[in-house]
Structure 1
Amino acid sequence: MVSTQTPDIIRVTAPQTTIRCGVGESPIWVAKEGAWYWVDITAKTIWRLDGSSGAVSRWQTAEMIGCLAPHSDAGFIAGMESGIFHLHLKSDGNIQAKRLAAPIASDVGMRFNDGRCDRQGRFWSGTMLIDMSEPRAAGHLYRYSKEHGISAPIISNLFVQNGLAWSPDGRTMYLSDSHPNSQLIWTFDYDTDHGVPHNQRVFVDMKTMAGRPDGAAMDVDGCYWICANDAGLILRFTPEGKLDRQIIVPMKKPTMCCFGGDKLDTLMVASIAAGQAPEDPWAGATILLQPGVQGYAETAFAG
């Protein structure tokens, strides 16, 4: 699929904060706090931006953290190096961490990467090799729930699991693989009663497009927004897989986007500084922009 469409330019005059993340990821909006959170994987850091005051806070984690999702019992559920954790972020800067589960068998040198909850509140996240230069599809996608614990691998043979999202009605699941050897986005029919995806098919093959598919978000129209890493773009696909919009962002390596704000009409985009020119003020930046559409709220983990 090759598009001749002219990308939108939504001007962002400065990074939202002066924070420069090595590998910024997993932005989320917590409505009850009116705050944004995101992580820096390699720096083992969780960041918080107050949506009203602009105040920034940070917490240091004991190991690399790939993703966060709100937990209904307060705090967050997170995919980290050694498993899935329940995290409570304390006002003194400390973290209370409880490991909930870990894969029964996992290769050495793996970590959890992208993750979020389905519409019923089950947490999903996938594993990947920490050393991305090793071209081995050793990653798996897992489901975790309070009732059933962690599943056996649901999807296997993934290089760099990414792009998890669910349609507004929860009946379609999206998944991507960012590795240059893959660069695919898939859709699945999703059994909402049992949390089982089936009928896997290619949604978009991004090898024919600019950038690699990274993290994603969903809007109220059921359109799928995904960061095109290495291309400095955010792409919007209709439910039929048609590219209908592109937004230029000032960072070459955007990683994941998330809708938030009081009206869910603001998009936070995280990015990577690692490997980029040190003088580039946008590399590793986290930005906020308004794309003119409303996003679909993320579901908290059903704790």
Structure 2
Amino acid sequence: MRPEIAVRERASLGEGPTWDPAGSRLIWVDILSARIHTYDPVSGRRTVMATEQHVGAAKPRTGGGLVVNLRDGIGLYGPDLATFSWLAYAPVRGRRGNDAVVAPDGALWAGTMRYDEEPGGGNLTRIAPDGAVTEVLSAAVSNGTGWSPDGRFMYYVDSPTRRVDVFDFDADGQQALSRRSFAEIEQGAGFPDGLTVDADGCVWVALWGGGQIRRYTPQGQLDRIVELPVQRPTACAFGGHGLRDLYITTARTGLTRPHPLAGSLLVLPDAGRGLPATPFAG
């Protein structure tokens, strides 16, 4: 399994790939350049949109538009992407929004981190469709979050821990309980970043600084390693026809001699089968 180039780009910190079934396109962001990118793999059409602030994630909304995890909180773009409003505005000096994902019930689970990555300086919060915010836990660099196909388990990454953790998920109470280690990344292999869960319940994790995508079985066993040409993959998501292609965002920030493809959007054709993304219900 060899990665291909989907979009040749020089993103500083590409992140957050999400398949938008309504538009048959992939949405991803360049956090530090404050840009939202879209890519249609059939036509090859691309768009790039500037945001008000550094943007950690952009996800589709029910009825059109986007919900965005910005530096100072959660924002909403209307269906025309020309109108913007704050849903949850809570600026903290030195902190920004990072990875985010929409849960099966339509709520947004959004992470934050300090620019200096101070331990405990970030958090993971649940933003209900009506804008109510509940802090779930504190973190240093809140990153990948995902759910098992049956919704019973939630997977989560706080990157400096070098772990993918798993929680029992109470969908009725919207709670993540009984946190424990699911998979540990050995020293020298990089840091876990974004993740996605496939239709078989396997967890795919991007290793920042490790140049790999790893797949773990539902039992936490490593069963596949995909070597990449770039050092800093950031996240992955299934998209395309049948949700069978794995798209990978990458970064070039902090590298003195980045690979020519660093910052590009890569793809692993026919890598497996993904789960449909839920749009934000707000």
Shorter-normalised TM-score: what interval?
over 0.9
Return closer, same or farther for 1:102/1:184 CA change in 2, 3 Å cut-off: farther
TM-score, normalised on structure 2? 0.95
> Which of 147, 158, 168 is equivalent to 2:149?
168
CA contact (8 A) 1:277 1:283 kept: no
Deviation at 1:128, TM superposition (A): 0.5
Is 1:62 matched up with 2:49?
A: no
Distance 1:209 1:278, change over 3 A: closer
Identity score, percent: 33
Measured in 2, the distance between the counterparts of 1:201 and 1:122 equals: 23
Distance 1:227 1:279, change over 3 A: closer
The question of whether the paired residues in 2 share the 8 Å contact of 1:59 and 1:89 is answered with: no
Count residues with an aligned counterpart.
282
1:279 Cα deviation from its structure 2 partner = 6.0
Picking from 135, 140, 144, the partner of 2:123 is 140
Deviations 1:121-174 (A, max 9, x none): 111011110223xx33211110011246111x2111x11001100111111011
Gaps of 5+ in 2: none
Could you tell me which of 185, 188, 203 is aligned with 1:206? Answer: 185
* C-alpha separation in 1, matches of 2:131 and 2:56: 22
User: Residue 154 of structure 1: SS of its match in structure 2?
Assistant: strand
Counterpart residue type for residue 102 of structure 1: Y
Runs (4+) of structure 1 moved beyond 4 Å?
none
Q: 1:98 aligns with which of 85, 107, 117?
A: 85
> Which segments of 5 or more consecutive residues in structure 1 lack a partner in the other structure?
1-8
1:108 pairs, out of 86, 89, 93, with: 93
How far off is 1:89 after superposition? Answer: 6.5
> Are 2:226 and 1:247 equivalent residues in the alignment?
yes
| Separation in 1, partners of 2:257, 2:249 | 17
2:9/2:261 contact within 8 Å kept: no
CA distance in 1, matches of 2:77, 2:153: 29
CA contact (8 A) 1:61 1:95 kept: no
1: CA distance, partners of 2:71 / 2:12: 17
1:273 to 247, 252, 273: 252
RMSD over aligned Cα atoms: 1.7
Separation in structure 2 between the aligned mates of residue 227 and residue 166 of structure 1, nearest angstrom: 16
Instruction: Give yes or no for contact 1:251–1:285 (8 Å, CA) kept in 2.
Output: no
SS at match of 1:125: strand
CA shift digits 1:19-60 (9 cap, x unpaired): 210000001111121111110000000111122110211100
